[in-house]
Amino acid sequence: DELDILIEGGLSIEPVLSDRMHAHGGKVVCYKMGNDYVMDIEYVLFNQKPGRIFNGATFDAVWIIPQNENTGRSYLSIMLNCPVYQVPAIWAPTFCDLVINHLKTEHNIEFGYRPNLSREKWRIASFEPNTFVIKSCFTPILIAPAAVQYAAAPVVAPTPAAAPAQAPAAATTAPAASDELSGHLVRSPMVGTFYRSPSPEAKAFVEVGQSVKVGDALCIVEAMKMMNRIEADKAGVVKAILINDGNAVEFDEPLIVIE
């Protein structure tokens, strides 16, 4: 009740909280750092459950970073029914520079990285990864590979010269493609690179003939530097691994057969 401004930073606030702010004259701002339009369109394209909802909370303004203004301004102004303003990202040098200058002028403290090559022990810092694959990318990245794959014209090989008549060849025993892929197919949820193990020196998650249960790790599909673990959605025995380690895969391409 003592707040003048409530800034919502990505996770939806409940309508009761925005109403409570407005009741005493406060303002509520929605600060969007991700490319919300692109993220929400992904759910529509691939029939996924939405990651967020517009729950009726009322906002006085939306703040959006410059990188996403082109795709997000109109979308957010319509969905949240309020004006949209461009602001720097909270991690932009604009704010860091002000603090660094204040430390220098007021406290004579130098801020910045200074290597110490004589140090025997080092501390490793872990930064939060971008866990959303397409957080700052664009829809064409998602749909272009599939469009090229299915729209490309077939290559017609030149017709060879007629050869002398020969005896009929013996029938092959190779199974048809439909027979090879019989069973439950585990498909790739994205375009990426297929890996059988979590690291080059580690053993593969599964082998042909291995029993698996729902939730067991089967492989990894790497997309835009993010390692996405693919889990079994059916219990059974691994019948076939269809992709070679390190090969590229398309969206919805079969990876593993379970029966």
Here the CATH number for the domain that contains residue 191 is: 2.40.50.100
| Average pLDDT score over residue span 180-186 | 82
pTM of the shown model:
0.41
Clarify whether residues 12 and 73 are in a common domain: yes
Which residue in the block uniquely carries the two structure tokens 């059988």?
196
Mean pLDDT, residues 7-36: 87
At which of 139, 173, 193 does a domain end? Answer: 139
Is position 173 within any domain? no
Same domain assignment for residues 24 and 134: yes
Q: Verify that 193 and 109 share a domain, yes or no.
A: no
Residue 153 lies in a domain: no
Could you tell me the residue range of the domain that residue 229 belongs to? 182-258
H/E stretch holding 193? strand 192-195
Sign of CA dihedral 60, 62, 89, 39: positive
Question: Is 187 in contact with 253 (CB distance < 8 Å)?
Answer: yes
Least confident interval from 122-126, 150-154, 205-209, 219-223: 150-154
Total domains present in the chain: 2
Residue 146 domain-assigned (yes or no)? no
